[in-house]
Chains A and B, each alone.
Chain A
């Protein structure tokens, strides 16, 4: 099994629908991150969590929310999806004081 697992891998949804992307990890890392990747742009941080009770907004959090259900699980929700949220979404994990990252395989989301 992968160290960082994202589900689903691909999703097509309609404008206005609520959708949840899930991330789980077996690394035992305390830090978890959600990023968005768009063509021609670097990965941009949506939300991050340094532990279960510590949730922080990233640079592009509008239209998104997150939940850290356990140390190993970090979910990203789009409350009312819109077409410009079509992108590749990555979850990543890290450990306090260590700059190493582990990335998931990504979720390709299309909003029509």
Chain B
């Protein structure tokens, strides 16, 4: 069983919809990352968080340490948000990341 589980695996939505991607993990962590990967492209770090909530533009990331769960929200989704979103965690005492398998998001105009 993967230590990091993401849901859904695939998500298709209409432009303008509110998007939520979930990440659950099974170990104690020092930090959680949300990453974005466009088709054929590299990986970009969106957020790193260890508690609470962070916001950048239309993206919001939250984490509940007690429940071992994080969510990534996209408000007013746009076709350019179409990408794979990856959750990764740094377990306690370990700087090496463990990755989820990603959520493929497609926003239809």
Contacts and interface: CB of A to CB of B under 8 A. Distances in A.
Interface string B41-83: 1111100101000000000000000000000000000000000
B95 A42 contact: no
A17 B43 CA distance: 28
A105 B42 CA distance: 4
Interface residues of A, number: 22
B100 A42 contact: yes
A99 B100 contact: no
Contacts of B2: 42
Contacts of B88: 42-43
Interface residues of B, number: 24
A105 B41 contact: yes
Interface string B84-99: 0010101000011111
B43 A90 contact: yes
Contacts of A40: 101
A101 B97 contact: yes
Contacts of A42: 2, 4, 86, 88, 98-102
Contact of A103 (B42, B48, B90, B95): B42
A103 B102 CA distance: 16
A101 B99 contact: no
B95 A31 contact: yes
Given A45-B96, A48-B96, A103 B101 contact: no
Interface string B1-30: 010100000000000000000000000001
Given A42-B2, A106-B43, A99 B31 contact: yes
Interface of B: 2, 4, 30-31, 33, 35, 41-45, 48, 50, 86, 88, 90, 95-102
